[in-house]
Chain A
Amino acid sequence: MSGTKVLRSLLHELRQASPNGCIKDNLAARYILAQYKKFETTDQQLCKARNEAIFLGQTYLTYLSSQRNYTELYKEFHGRGERSVRDTADLVGFKLPTDPK
């Protein structure tokens, strides 16, 4: 994955994760952008292992996206306990005795 793509995906995930959907003054977004600025020309000159910066970015991207997918799956499939009488009645198209005819 290229650097730009990782950056775009990272910002997308951060936007999804933030409570109000705005990452204008989000700490992580700012930090990542600053890092990108720093390693703009090369990420080898600053005594970092080859491609280390991009690897870290990808790992963080995996972390954020996996968390989001996990939460989505959990919400979809986790049991919410027993259905109420009304829910069951609605499910099979019955009416409760208290409902108007």
Chain B
Amino acid sequence: MNGKLMQGAIRALRLGSCSQWPASVARITVRAYATPPKRFYKKTSVLSSDGGYEVVLDHRKLKTPKGTPFLVRSEPLAIAVATEFDAQKEHIERSRMHLSALCFTAIDNPNNLTKLDMVNYLLNFIPTDTVLFQYDDEKDLQDLQLNEWDPVIAWFNQRYETNLQKTLNITPPQVSEEDKMKIAKHLHSYSLDTLHGFIFAVDTLKSIILACAVIEQMLTVEKAVALARLEEEYQLKFWGRVEWAHDLSQQELQSRLAAAVLFVHLNCSEYFVKQKSIL
């Protein structure tokens, strides 16, 4: 990869230095995007088959990118995916279908991750957690972080019986082995599918503490995204809000996080109804 880049750079330099080359020869690079596939179906529906629910586009069964049939255990999840496919207008915008993408990733598991890999990935996230890095040089920002982030850290410490401490300078916070074990134990209680959703949430928020809080229903999705973007929001007050950057990223993060939270909840919530027997 690097070698190729170097070669490209050297060629560009050579092209620039040779004056006898007419300017028109210099190649203009055009980024070619793949056109999204057209919407080839009219109606979407959900089929219940043994062991799960399938999504049907007209009469074709939905398949994952790897070619395995789409099959999920939860009915609402299948309905949500069918609705998402139904919401596509002329083209199927796959990059914006977070819920379907998450299901596909969980079914295909393209990186062949095991539960241990994923838990380790999440554990390695703790020392770089967003809410543990606070800033004490600016009074207003520090107050904001103190009021908004500290209660979440306190909740996390209480909920998982850990002792995570925030840091006010560049040194990463110390996480003891004991705390790591406790969090790992909690994460291991989730299934492999659910952990995919968990990783998606953590990657979106850049914080395992906020992700746990929103999955445990302590925060709403909007609030969690606002907390993850706390400093950005603070700086916006001075430098102005740009719709195509700040709003766009906020909406994107919200939809990603909501997809992850839905996925986790619908995958691990099982309930049964106990009916009164009428004698």
Contact = CB atoms under 8 A, between A and B. Distances in A.
Contacts of B255: 62-63, 66-67, 70
B272 interface: yes
Contacts of A67: 87, 96, 251, 255
B274 to A, nearest CB: 8
Interface in A20-45: 26-28, 31
A77 B251 contact: no
A36 to B, nearest CB: 13
Interface residues of B, number: 39
Interface in B67-126: 75-76, 79-80, 82-83, 86-89, 96, 98-99
A69 interface: yes
Contact of B251 (A27, A46, A58, A66): A66
A55 interface: yes
Contact of B79 (A19, A28, A55, A59): A28
B12 interface: no
A17 B79 CA distance: 14
Contacts of B259: 63
B40 to A, nearest CB: 13
B217 A18 contact: no
Interface residues of A, number: 30
Contact of A63 (B76, B99, B220, B269): B99
A51 B272 contact: no
A50 to B, nearest CB: 9
Contact of B83 (A26, A51, A56, A59): A26
A54 to B, nearest CB: 10
B273 A46 contact: yes
A73 interface: yes
A49 interface: yes
Interface stretch (B18-26, B140-148, B242-250): B242-250
B254 interface: yes
A92 interface: no
Contacts of A14: 83
B166 to A, nearest CB: 27
Residue with the highest number of chain A CB atoms closer than 10 Å, among B243, B251, B261:
B251
A14 B80 CA distance: 11
Contacts of B248: 70, 73-74, 77
21 contacts: A14-B83, A18-B86, A26-B83, A27-B46, A31-B79, A47-B274, A49-B217, A51-B217, A56-B266, A59-B221, A63-B258, A63-B262, A66-B251, A69-B251, A70-B251, A71-B96, A73-B243, A73-B244, A74-B248, A76-B243, A77-B248
The 5 lowest CB-CB distance pairs between A and B, nearest first, are A63-B258, A66-B255, A77-B244, A17-B87, A66-B254
